[in-house]
Structure 1
Amino acid sequence: MLQFTEFYGGEGMELQATGLTFKVKSAKRVKTPYQELLLLDTYDWGKMLVLDGAVQTTERDEFIYHEMIVHPALFTFNRRVSRALVIGGGDGGTVRELLKHNVEKVELVEIDRDVVETALNELPTISSALKDERVTVHFADGREFVKGKEGVYDLIIVDCSDPIGPSAVLYQEEFYRDCFKALVPDGIFVTQSESPFAQRKIHRQVVKELEKVFQIVRPYLAFIPTYPSGMWSFTIGSKTLDPLGVHPVTLQRLYEEFKKRNGQPKYYNPEVHYGAFAIPNFVYMEE
């Protein structure tokens, strides 16, 4: 029987197993121009996308990541979002959740065409929104794509892999400043910001760099079983809108309207919205 175990570089430690080993029915491997791509069909987690040995998404738990990278920011806007940019996210799940909010136009910038093509062919429940007429896919370097743009987007979401290889430049202050310029006056920026437990230094660095750029910075948590330690973070950078400043009555109204259009989300709800921003003490304690 085939098995797959993800290894990651923990804080101050050599590569170690995440603690999860997946039983695999079949595997496809593609060496793209940018990274090694594995498409695994597993017994317990459905199909799984792996890039350079790191699990990106599985059919079983992808809803947690994709709902939480999108909904906290979208429910912070008390208006329709006209134009959104997703950098990375070639599996299409983030785009899928954005379109549930009736976003008028979504641009996806993915450097690796093989990721998008694999998702379209193998992960249709995640990627199907990429075919929507409101979506434009650019195969380009997200760092370069955002340069020089001013006041274009209501929302920018960075749905990238770990800060190695082609994603490394998406964790730097200069990139965050370019994103700031590309946002409208009340625009919001969101990025995945690694595990505060397994990659605490990287997480803290992301927050620190964003605090140099945005007036409001709010890290928040979700619990994703197939990611290192299970404890995962995202961080919002905002010019004026605070996700914790949304009135509970307003949030409940927006949530009920969302449910009428799309059904109930599997993970996100108003209580999760506020509670996700409660960060355990150890994350920012001095060592």
Structure 2
Amino acid sequence: MSVDITHDFYNGWYLERSRGWALGLALENKLFEKQSAYQKITVYQTQTFGKLLLLDDIIMVTERDEFIYHEMMAHVPLNVHPNPERVLVIGGGDGGTIREIVKHPTVKEAVLVEIDIDVINTAREYFPTIGSEFDNPRVKVLAEDGVAYIRNNQNYFDVIMIDSSDPIGFAEGLFQADFYRDVYNALKPDGIMTNQTDSPLLSPMIVEKTYSEMQKVFQHLFMYQGYCLTYPGGYWTFGFASKRYHPLNDFDPKHAQAKGLKTKHYNTKLHNGAFYLPNFALATLPAGCEQKNWSE
């Protein structure tokens, strides 16, 4: 399972090509570049999308649209679980998912495990509105291998979020059943996992494989959708894998609204709608998934 992504810099533009699709961003200047122990990290100032973070020349985040991804990753599971106190993020070194997690008053401990300390340091310096909560007293930041960390912390977390890049290189292990089994064991008996699961429009085989691997481990498996303009195709999906809770039947909009969360994208009506999928997305879910029957 892999993704073929190429890139180019031409006449002041960054171009990313993937799966027969291309995205271009007009650049103003390069702000930072470093080869870390794991990848090349680059920051550009763009003309219309604020600062742009590239890892190995692949888009990770822009200041203009990052909130959509991070809000959907975080608020969906945290508003389904009735009392999330301990939350883990694997990856997510830009800090955006952590920023959203600590908006929830029940969260007592939010652990970020990012393998590349240089990504965290880059976010601190160049993306202060995204990596704004690294020093929150409820947040613990660890520069470690997330796979190893999961194995050593069983039955501890209420919610685990896999905020990873695409299944390329060292991130490929985060999309396999063995890893999901470790996540399952690290969750409490009513725990929830969310993860980014790519584009069912441009990468249906990758999405099918990801959900088939999750289904080997989790009893309750759902897909929900979001829109990330600077990710391939703009249409993106997330996995909701749970030991107990249903993302709609166990979701209380009034309870969520009472938290007074300040969001730019997520709201309780959008929460419900995000789980009602177009047919091409439903087609990528494995047999036995409850959602495949919702459109009937």
Give the TM-score taking structure 1 as reference length. 0.91
What is the DSSP-based 3-state SS (H/G/I as helix, E as strand, rest coil) of the residue aligned with 1:155? strand
Q: 1:117 to 1:162 in 2, by over 3 A?
A: same
Maintained 8 Å contact 1:149/1:178: no
Residue by residue over 1:190-221, the C-alpha shift from the partner in whole angstroms, topping out at 9 and shown as x without a partner, is 11111111221111111111111111101110
Q: Which of 250, 253, 269 pairs up with 2:267?
A: 269
Counterpart amino acid of 2:267? N
Identity in percent? 39
Q: Look up the SS of the partner of 2:130 in the other structure.
A: helix
Please report how far the alpha carbon of residue 73 of structure 1 lies from its aligned counterpart in structure 2 after TM superposition: 0.5
List aligned pairs for 1:154-169, cutoff 5 A: 154-169=158-173
* Deviating 4+ runs (over 4 angstroms): none
Aligned residue runs from structure 1 range 208-219, under 5 A: 208-219=212-223
| Pick aligned residue for 1:63 from 43, 61, 67 | 67
Is residue 207 of structure 1 aligned with residue 211 of structure 2?
yes
* Mapped pair 1:285 → 2:283: yes
State whether structure 2 residue 135 is matched by structure 1 residue 131.
yes
Query: Counterpart of 1:40?
Result: 44
Give the secondary structure class of the aligned counterpart of 1:217. Answer: strand
Letter in 1 for 2:118: D
- Is 1:175–2:175 an aligned residue pair? no
CA offsets 1:3-44 (integer angstroms, 9 cap, x no match): 101122x2xxxxx442x2111111122211111211111010
The amino acid of 1:181's aligned partner reads: N
Counterpart check, 1:223 vs 2:227: yes
Residues in 2 aligned to 1:148 and 1:23: alpha-carbon distance in whole angstroms: 44
In 2, the alpha carbon distance for the partners of 1:37 and 1:199 equals 25
Residue identity matched to 2:91: G
Specify which of 16, 21, 43 is matched with residue 24 of structure 2: 21
The answer to whether the aligner puts 1:6 opposite 2:22 as a matched pair is no
2:151 to 124, 130, 147: 147
Kindly report which structure 2 residues correspond to 1:98-109, keeping only aligned pairs within 5 A, or say none: 98-102=101-105, 103-109=107-113
**Which residue of 118, 134, 137 corresponds with 2:122?**
118
Task: Tell me what 1:13 maps to.
Answer: none
Q: Is the 8 A contact 2:89 2:160 kept in 1?
A: yes
Q: Is the 8 A contact 1:148 1:178 kept in 2?
A: no
Which one-letter code corresponds to 1:202 in the other structure? Answer: I
Q: How many angstroms does 1:258 deviate by? A: 2.3
Read off the aligned partner of 2:195 and give its amino acid letter. Answer: T
The total of aligned residue pairs comes to 272
**Stretches of structure 1 lacking an aligned partner (at least 5 in a row):** 11-15
Name the residue aligned to 2:257: 256
Partner Cα distance (2:204, 2:45) in 1: 31
CA distance in 1, matches of 2:37, 2:17: 22
The one-letter code sitting in structure 2 at the alignment partner of 1:256 is Q
Letter aligned with residue 15 of structure 2: T
Which of 59-68 and 46-55 deviates more?
46-55
Structure 1 Cα separation of the partners of residues 223 and 282 of structure 2: 11
1:94 is matched by which residue type in structure 2? T
2:75, 2:279 → 1: CA distance?
25
Q: Which runs of 5+ in 2 are unaligned?
A: 1-10, 285-296
Residue 98 (structure 2) aligns with = 95
Structure-1 separation of matches of 2:283 and 2:146:
33
Partner Cα distance (1:205, 1:101) in 2: 32
Q: Per-residue deviation at 1:118? A: 0.4
Alpha carbons of 1:285 and 1:154: their partners in 2 closer, same or farther (altered >3 Å)?
A: closer
Q: Which residue of 1 aligns with 2:86?
A: 83
Cα-to-partner distance string for 1:234-287 (whole Å, 9 max, x where unaligned): 00110001112135xx31x1232222xx43x2111111111111121123438x
